[in-house]
Each structure stands twice: as structure tokens, then as C-alpha cells.
Amino acid sequence: MRTEELGEFALIARLTAGLPTRADVALGVGDDAALLDLSGFAADALLVATCDAQVEGEHFTLGVATPEEIGHKALAVNLSDLAAMGAEPLWALVSLLLPRALEVATLDGVYAGLRSLAARYSVALVGGNVSATAGPLAIDVTALGRVPRGQALTRAGGSPGDLVLVTGTLGAAAAGVLLQGGDSRLDAVSAAARAQARTALVSPQPRLAEGRALAASGVVTAMLDVSDGLAADLGHLCAASQVSAELDADAISVDPAALAVAEALGRDALRMALEGGEDYELAFTVGPDAVEQALEAVTAVGGGARVIGRLTEPGLGLRLLYADGSIEELAARGWDHLRPN
Amino acid sequence: MRTEELGEFALIARLTAGLPTRADVALGVGDDAALLDLSGFAADALLVATCDAQVEGEHFTLGVATPEEIGHKALAVNLSDLAAMGAEPLWALVSLLLPRALEVATLDGVYAGLRSLAARYSVALVGGNVSATAGPLAIDVTALGRVPRGQALTRAGGSPGDLVLVTGTLGAAAAGVLLQGGDSRLDAVSAAARAQARTALVSPQPRLAEGRALAASGVVTAMLDVSDGLAADLGHLCAASQVSAELDADAISVDPAALAVAEALGRDALRMALEGGEDYELAFTVGPDAVEQALEAVTAVGGGARVIGRLTEPGLGLRLLYADGSIEELAARGWDHLRPN
């Protein structure tokens, strides 16, 4: 059945039946707006709000990603933004732009993915909107969370001398994009590497536990998530903190899947880690005396992170230091959502 | 210049320069998420959240509405949802889906309209997102506000015997749609009526002062905004309140512009008022002893409202009573955003 056959109100009833909720949702979907109870907020808590859209043909391709993965990612990228502030996620609103010919079963899958991730992090889906469109399917999510005032982490706050760390590994999502290209040389890539790259691209896991732990540690000076690519995102952090940065080429944790794909295609894996977006890891900075404390905070919640460089005086840009002593000036290149890539 | 030529980051910088803010915005646009200070919230305040999208070809037509009007309406329909809860608006996030060939000047206009309405109601634009799309321009807004817990008004809460009231007049937006059709018989419609119908359609004013005043009055039992059409929206209110309703045909305040357009086309103006969506007036219910108090609350803020009917026992549906004693069973017809209309 297509969405236009089902109609708006039956579709909303179908999508919102039994949505995950929370005790602090005074009124969820079905009225003009949601009512959210703040009585569980500590006196010094800040509300954290972000929105991000996933658009067919731009961020995902139906038939490549499953509907469940598309729904998962639409929420995950928003939860990643909350993680980057050190926030705990609470509520989300979902706005759908629906081609009239879209199969309702596809939408059921998208919502299954949304619900599953929401339930995992106790996020209540409290509102939304459906609209028809003559264009591609789009899923626009607004996520709301909270963070103690003194713990909120922004892109500003880094100082020269601070060390730069990043959680997890980088480049796997870029490898996933290349694998979709279907170059026959990629047949040499192992099934495990393929699976890892695909998962990174279509089903990223927001680093919520790491983000909260780092914020609570009190030693992080600046943080953001790596969505546009490490180089571009560090460029944002440097701009906000009014500093420069240098990265140690050998220290950057390139994902094994990126290494495998790069080898098969004769590409530079380090470049994929630096410039391929959508890793959804957290990049953050700490004073040199606080590295152990930050690493302990991350490992205590089951994560991992490593030092990849340091902040320097402003005016030096973003530089990549090689083991042989050579230095490369990195342009802050990465994903621009409006330019053809 | 087209948006793809300007690029994502220059575009964001251009759109967000000097955005209206508020003292309670701890961190606005430019980081992973906004940080919002709740210290101005009373202990019993609820957070109110809603989202609604405007899509080219579905909700507006470039060249018919100006970019400023499109931006205005994208925020106005969300503020209308906050008004319907009795809430005070505080913050909004704006997610844009942009065709790559869209002129930046058009987007400047959209943002001018958004900014102007935001400034009028002291709403801070605290976040957003831009994404490219191969489809039509879409503007998806999430609006956040607050309401004292005991004052929040929902669609539930109406009881048999309560009177049904509506602010302002109905049908002008439907007249605006018909005027866009360009039927030559419409040449007989006065310039004043045309202007009124056009304004109602492309530049609706959210009834925020009325909504707050009604919520604060303490006598309103249920409320919602008339966006899908009076009959459809009262159907929603009746369903949520588990009641039926009857309307007095003579009491419904049909907008003069709707009367003029209906006369020119030989249509039924009452039908336009009942079924034409997008009026963005508030429909609400009060006990029979509290009508004066509710009307005083509305007039005290410069608005107007009138009694158009009453709630009845469940199971009777929505009925229209004519002065001659005849009764029409009204289907809860109105706007379905997915079905071709």
C-alpha cells in the first residue's frame, strides 16, 4: 500500500501506536504540541536542542540501506550531536516528507529503526509531522536533551597546548561509500571489512556514553562530533577556540576497513580517515596533565580514545606531522552538503 | 547566486548572522547543539514542543507567495501550535532542504520572514540544519515554548454541555486558494477582499496572545488550532474529549473575503469556513457559565471570539444546525496532507 492510499491520519496512527515514552512526557504525540515535564531537571541543568535531516539521494539510498537503518541513522546523527555537548538525550520529534507513492511498509521499517534506537537510549518520540512531497523521502529529526550547566562542552574552550583526542576509529564510513561504488578491485576486501564499513556508514552508533563521561570528568576543554570529516571538524573546533592544531599522522586511528578498501583501490587510507565524513566519533581536547583522566572516563563506559595531536597558537592552520619530520598543511576539507561532492 | 555556488558553511554564516536571540540562550547556532537556560522557568512550567514543515508545491508556491511570506508562515504555523496549548513561545530550530539551484536571494527572503516574526514574539532562532535535496524547497521548523502546568490546554477535557468558541473569522485562507485559481468570475471580488484572503493564506498570524490569555483564564476545557479545517479539527477535539458537537450554522463567523469569493463563484461560503483549512484560529470549549470570562480574556488582548455551538454526548458525530430546524450530519472532512486534494 502507498502512503497516499492510507492517508495522513491513518498513517500517523499506524506510526505512533505504542511509541516508546518516558515518565517525563506529560503529553506525547496526538495533540498540537508535546508537553514535557522538567521536574526531573536539576536546578542547574541546561536544555540541549539540535536538528538534522536525512534526505534520499543525499544521505541514503533506498535499496542500499534498509528502511530500519535509515530510521536508525536519522535519529543517531542527532543523538551524536547531543553526545558532542555531553548531554543526556530525552526526547525527539520526527518530521517526515513523504513521496505519495512511498510504500507504507518502507515507512514501517524506518519507524522500526527509529523506535529501536530510541528505546535503547530511553528517548521518547514525542512529536512529529507528516507532509507530502513531490521530491525524495526526507526524515528530519529534532533531538532534545539535558546537561548540567558546568559540564556542557562546546567547540570553544580549547587552548594552545591542549591535546587532541578522538574516540574509536576513522574512515570506515568513507570505506562504506567506496564499497557502494562497486569497483571490481574491491572483491579482494574481506567480508568482515565490508560488513564493518557498511555498518559504520548506514548504522552509526552515537557516542552518548563517552560524551556524558567526558563531560562529567570535568577535564575536557572542547568537544564536537566528527560528521563532516576529521580535518573539517577540527577546523571548526580551532575556529571556535581561536587556536590552530597539529596532528601526528602515525597516531590517527585509521579503521581496518578503511585500510582494506584503500589497499584494494590504491588509495590513501589516512586521507579517508581525515576527510571522509560521517564517522560520528567524538573529537575532544584536554590539558596535557588530564589525558589519563579523560581516557579513564572513556574506558570506564566501554569506549576507547587516543591522542592524535595537539592545539597550537592561532594562525598556523591545521598541520599534519609525519614521522620523518615532514609537515603537510591540511586544508580543512570535508563534506559540504550543498556542493556536488 | 545559487546555493550550491555559495556552499554550506558560507550559506549558514549568511543566514545566521545577527539572528534574534534571548537572554536565556546560553549557546545559539554554530555548535553541535543549542544550550538553553531554564532558570527563568517557574517550578511548575512544562516545556512545549512541536514541529511542522512547509514544502514547495504542497504548502506554498514560489512566485505566488513571496520568500518573506514563506518564511513567516513556516514559523507562524508552529507558533500557532504553541498558542493552541496556551504556551509562550521561546525558541525555534529551522531545518532547510535546499534545491542546489535555489537562488540565495530567495533564501535571504525566507530568513527575513522568519526573523521578522521571531523578533515580533521574542522567539530566538537557536539552531538549524541545511541539506541539499533533488526535490522541492522545504522549511521544517521546531518550536519550543513553556506553559504553567495547570494552564496547559489539550484537545481532551471538553464535556457535553460545554460551549464551542472560535477566535476571528474562518474561510479567508480557502478564499485565498480559490483566488489563486484565476477564474475570470473572480474579477468581481474587491481589492480589499482579495488582499484579506491573500494575507490569510500566505501570512497567517498565530493567536499567541489569545492562547495565553485563554489558558491563564482557567476556564477553558479544551483547545486546538484550526489548521485542517474547522470540521476536521473539531472532529479531533471531539475524539480526544470523547464527545460529539453541534454547530449553529448562523453563528459561524464566515470571513467577508470568503463571502465575496463564494458569491463570485456561486459556492457555499459556509462550506469554505467549515472545510477550508489553514485559518490558524483557535477553537476552544468552556462551561456554559464561563463564556463571559473567556470572551473577556480574548478581548483584553485585542482579540475576538464567538460561540458557534456546543459539545454533546458521545456517539452523535458532528452536526450542523440550521435556523429552520434542519440538521446536517457533517463528515469531519478537511485537509489530508497525503491525499491529492
Structure confidence at residue B136 (pLDDT): 98
Would B158 be classed as within a structural domain? Answer: no
Instruction: Match 470523547 to its residue by C-alpha cell.
Output: B242
Confidence of residue B333 (pLDDT cuts 50, 70, 90): low
Are B177 and B313 within one domain?
yes
Judged by phi (left if over 0) then psi (alpha if -120 to 50, else beta), residue A74 lies in alpha
- Pick the last residue of a domain from B151, B175, B207: B151
Name chain A contacts of B129, Cβ cutoff 8 Å.
51-53, 140
pTM above 0.90, yes or no: yes
Instruction: Match 579523560 to its residue by C-alpha cell.
Output: A294
Are A121 and A17 within one domain?
yes
Are B287 and B184 within one domain?
yes
Q: Does residue A97 belong to the interface with chain B, where contact is any CB pair within 8 Å?
A: yes
Would B42 be classed as within a structural domain? Answer: yes
Would A67 be classed as within a structural domain? Answer: yes
State whether A58 and B132 contact (CB < 8 Å): yes
Report d(CA A197, CA A179) in Å as an integer. 8
Query: What would the pLDDT profile of B91-144 be if each residue is shown by its tens digit?
Result: 999 999 999 999 999 999 999 999 999 999 999 999 989 999 999 999 999 999
How many beta-carbon pairs under 8 angstroms link A with B? 258
Structure confidence at residue B4 (pLDDT): 85
Name chain A contacts of B152, Cβ cutoff 8 Å.
26-27, 35
Would A101 be classed as within a structural domain? Answer: yes
Structure confidence at residue B334 (pLDDT): 54
Query: What would the pLDDT profile of A33-43 be if each residue is shown by its tens digit?
Result: 999 999 999 99
State the smallest CA–CA distance between residue B188 and chain A in angstroms: 34
Are B37 and B179 within one domain?
no
Look up the ipTM and state it: 0.95
Please determine, for residue B337, whether its predicted confidence score (pLDDT) is greater than 70: no
State whether B127 and A50 contact (CB < 8 Å): yes
State the smallest CA–CA distance between residue A336 and chain B in angstroms: 6
State the smallest CA–CA distance between residue B227 and chain A in angstroms: 10
Are B71 and B109 within one domain?
yes
For chain A, what is the mean pLDDT?
95
Please determine, for residue A337, whether its predicted confidence score (pLDDT) is greater than 70: no
Are A109 and A180 within one domain?
no
Q: Nearest residue of B to residue A51 by CA position?
A: B128
Count of domains for chain A: 2
Q: Does residue B61 belong to the interface with chain A, where contact is any CB pair within 8 Å?
A: no
- Which CATH number fits the domain that encloses residue A76? 3.30.1330.10
CA neighbor of B206 nearest in space, from B70, B77, B74:
B77
Q: In this structure, what C-alpha cell is assigned to residue B122?
A: 521574542
A93 vs B142, B240, B336: nearest CB:
B142
Report d(CA B269, CA B165) in Å as an integer. 19
- Which CATH number fits the domain that encloses residue B208? 3.90.650.10
Distances (CA, A) of B334 to A20, A132, A310: 30, 16, 60
For chain B, what is the mean pLDDT?
95
Report d(CA A340, CA A141) in Å as an integer. 24
Would B216 be classed as within a structural domain? Answer: yes
Are B22 and B78 within one domain?
yes
Confidence of residue B341 (pLDDT cuts 50, 70, 90): very low
Are B287 and B174 within one domain?
yes
Would A179 be classed as within a structural domain? Answer: yes
Are B215 and B323 within one domain?
yes
Please determine, for residue A63, whether its predicted confidence score (pLDDT) is greater than 80: yes
Report d(CA B267, CA B81) in Å as an integer. 30
CA neighbor of A209 nearest in space, from A298, A125, A142:
A298
AA identity, residue A52:
D
Are B120 and B16 within one domain?
yes
Confidence of residue A171 (pLDDT cuts 50, 70, 90): very high
Mean pLDDT computed over A35-61:
95
Q: Nearest residue of A to residue B127 by CA position?
A: A50
Alpha helix ranges (H) inside chain B:
3-6, 8-16, 67-85, 104-120, 172-181, 191-202, 208-217, 230-241, 256-265, 269-275, 291-300
Residue among B31, B39, B41 with most chain A CBs within 10 A, to mutate: B31
Query: What would the pLDDT profile of B256-300 be if each residue is shown by its tens digit?
Result: 999 999 999 999 999 999 999 899 999 999 999 999 999 999 999
- Pick the last residue of a domain from A125, A151, A177: A151
Report d(CA A171, CA A193) in Å as an integer. 12
Are B133 and B183 within one domain?
no
Print the domain residue range for B48.
Answer: 3-151
Would A339 be classed as within a structural domain? Answer: no
State the smallest CA–CA distance between residue B1 and chain A in angstroms: 13
Would A286 be classed as within a structural domain? Answer: yes
Are B118 and B192 within one domain?
no
Count CB atoms within 10 A of the CB of residue A29.
Answer: 20
- Pick the last residue of a domain from B111, B129, B151: B151
